[in-house]
Structure 1
């Protein structure tokens, strides 16, 4: 027997047509129909979020008291985070990642892309942590882990020829290739593009010509603004140059980066992006959902697609006074307002 669920409320259906009073009929996890109605229930409906860049293993180093340069803190193989990971047992790593995945699930973020250190073993530990959670986790491995995962997540082309060769091999075999690039300067952006990147992370110091290359070659950029500020590689809205990314026509998606420093909270990331970088609410929501498209998921609310949305009861709090639910979601939202998430892998 088919399982049918009807959800009534004001739904965000994309920039056009925006918010609409609708009834969404879900049959066996698929959106069967979206019908506009004159008056829907007092409920908001938004697409699930996708965290486009995480380092979940770093949960075990959460808020460690640390000072130093970016390289001293996070660069392989001897950065502080790598030293902490190396001396942490597998069970604790797995539990830390499982807890952070659970947090994301509770905050309407079932999808994420993780750069996973530790080779094949590191990938397997994260796969185990994802198992049974209901999360839609994309794993990009390193040091051999790329052979048993979705693809490769490279720290930087500055690591040298070996990682570029690994990336080329992954690309040839049909895997996904992502690079950290431009986090503290622009020197590793062009080499990453040259290496056939499917995704660049950060581009905090990307030049106009590099942004044009990304737009022309259809390479998405995952920005992580809170992490950039905390790690001291950004101090103003020019880094990353989000406005220019949009002007050049780049696809920009949103991530939270390193759990060592930043909670994997996409609502906080959206609020920060809106406040500091002046992005409009529809643009911000689209960035927070858009990573799902990069990985072939597409969480937007459309007929014939898998149901990938969450509901909010605005009456629970002062949200019922909102004149603009999209703006409110970006600037005021937290997981306590979530009524239910409709999502199944």
Structure 2
């Protein structure tokens, strides 16, 4: 495919190029050129191509439970043992779970999300249900499974090892997914976290999401939640809303970065992640939309919220380009994959934005326009791996 007269946000710095030609071959982006070529081409006048969104943290298994628990604590809602979420998942008809997860995937595509990373509950059965849900939906899913084994305070303090049965279960799970998405360090002893760190696939873990979980870690182990989460040797950490500066510095040295979920933290009344502090301490930051039961999986809304609430709380300007990088480039880097950027040899995932749409025209600053004015209605088409999967042009 050869596209001409196209505006793009190019490379890892999202450089704005007003008009160029772009080649797409064998699912990958090729070279850009300002010179017309003697090939059959598609005229993209009036369109801006941006990288496909990378939704770096989701739980779409709870798509069946939208807004079920709007009150109560975090633990009341999503705790892996005590929360209403695991009870709903256990009691729901598997066919219904598949149907609503599929709906969430379709919703993500229409909103420009081309890759999502899911922390998948319910062990192998949950992984297989999600695979069924995406089998007929052309979205890229990175599935991080888990064993449903959670230790109590006594086991954590005694440093209880992972039982042999769970070790076998872990091998079965890892054969069917892309890696591990661990619930958190407070439910796992040092021994368990260190055992899990030896797995060869991708590893990620929730950490320092709430004040209560941070205090609990200190109380039980005399260590910060993040210092124990790092025993997993994770590729990235999730949340870090209440991580201290020394933990952020350690995270910058020992991981690829942090995924924050600002709307989820806010809707759970748990505060706002300070990504400026994270970046100041050397952390790369990406964005996720978290639980579907709490938030619709919409990266436009996530970016808009994060940009404005950060400026409001810090009382200083934030470059909208940095927010857009979190939703695209940074997600690809955290995952170690050639996605999230429009450059040669990267997978051709992109969103074609109509620059003449009512909400965007005239577009004086493309980064600000995308971050706080664009929406599903401004998308002309969505492309994954060089194929148009939604819309047309």
TM normalised by structure 2 equals 0.81
Larger radius of gyration: 2
CA 316–226 in structure 1, closer or farther in 2 if over 3 Å, else same: same
Stretches of structure 1 that go unaligned for 5 or more consecutive residues are none
Equivalent residue runs for 1:102-121 within 5 Å:
102-121=106-125
In terms of mean alpha carbon deviation, does 40-49 or 111-120 score higher?
A: 40-49
Residue 79 of structure 1 corresponds to: 83
CA 129–168 in structure 1, closer or farther in 2 if over 3 Å, else same: farther
Equivalent residue runs for 1:34-183 within 5 Å:
34-36=32-34, 41-143=45-147, 144=170, 145-161=173-189, 165=192, 167-183=193-209
Residues 210 and 241 in structure 2, CA contact (< 8 A), matched pair in contact too: yes
1:194 paired with 2:198, answer no
Residue 286 of structure 2 corresponds to: 253
Residues 94 and 125 in structure 1, CA contact (< 8 A), matched pair in contact too: yes
CA 80–7 in structure 1, closer or farther in 2 if over 3 Å, else same: farther
TM normalised by structure 1 equals 0.92
The one-character-per-residue Cα deviations of 1:259-297 (angstroms, maximum 9, x if unpaired) are: 001000001000011111134211111100121222223
CA 197–53 in structure 1, closer or farther in 2 if over 3 Å, else same: same
1:221 paired with 2:258, answer yes
User: Match of 1:137, SS?
Assistant: strand
| CA RMSD across the alignment | 2.0
Q: Distance in 1 between matches of 2:88 and 2:225?
A: 26
In terms of mean alpha carbon deviation, does 130-139 or 297-306 score higher?
A: 297-306
Q: Distance in 1 between matches of 2:69 and 2:145?
A: 27
User: Match of 1:179, SS?
Assistant: strand
User: Match of 2:381, SS?
Assistant: strand
Alpha-carbon deviation of 1:170? 4.6
CA 78–146 in structure 1, closer or farther in 2 if over 3 Å, else same: farther
User: Match of 2:98, SS?
Assistant: helix
Residues 50 and 291 in structure 1, CA contact (< 8 A), matched pair in contact too: yes
> Which of 7, 10, 15 is the aligned partner of 2:7?
10
Alpha-carbon deviation of 1:300? 0.4
CA 10–310 in structure 1, closer or farther in 2 if over 3 Å, else same: same
> Which of 259, 262, 270 is the aligned partner of 2:295?
262
Q: Distance in 1 between matches of 2:69 and 2:348?
A: 41
Residue 331 of structure 2 corresponds to: 291
Alpha-carbon deviation of 1:169? 4.4
> Which of 248, 261, 270 is the aligned partner of 1:233?
270
Equivalent residue runs for 1:301-320 within 5 Å:
301-320=342-361
Size of the aligned set, in residue pairs, is 336
Q: Distance in 2 between matches of 1:173 and 1:226?
A: 31
Alpha-carbon deviation of 1:232? 1.0
In terms of mean alpha carbon deviation, does 198-207 or 65-74 score higher?
A: 65-74
User: Match of 1:197, SS?
Assistant: coil
Alpha-carbon deviation of 1:88? 0.4
Stretches of structure 2 that go unaligned for 5 or more consecutive residues are 37-43, 148-169, 215-223, 312-317, 387-393
In terms of mean alpha carbon deviation, does 148-157 or 313-322 score higher?
A: 313-322
1:342 paired with 2:383, answer yes
Residue 248 of structure 2 corresponds to: 211
CA 324–268 in structure 1, closer or farther in 2 if over 3 Å, else same: same
The one-character-per-residue Cα deviations of 1:67-104 (angstroms, maximum 9, x if unpaired) are: 21111111111201111111101001111110001011
User: Match of 1:110, SS?
Assistant: strand
Alpha-carbon deviation of 1:146? 4.0
Alpha-carbon deviation of 1:252? 0.3
Alpha-carbon deviation of 1:6? 1.6
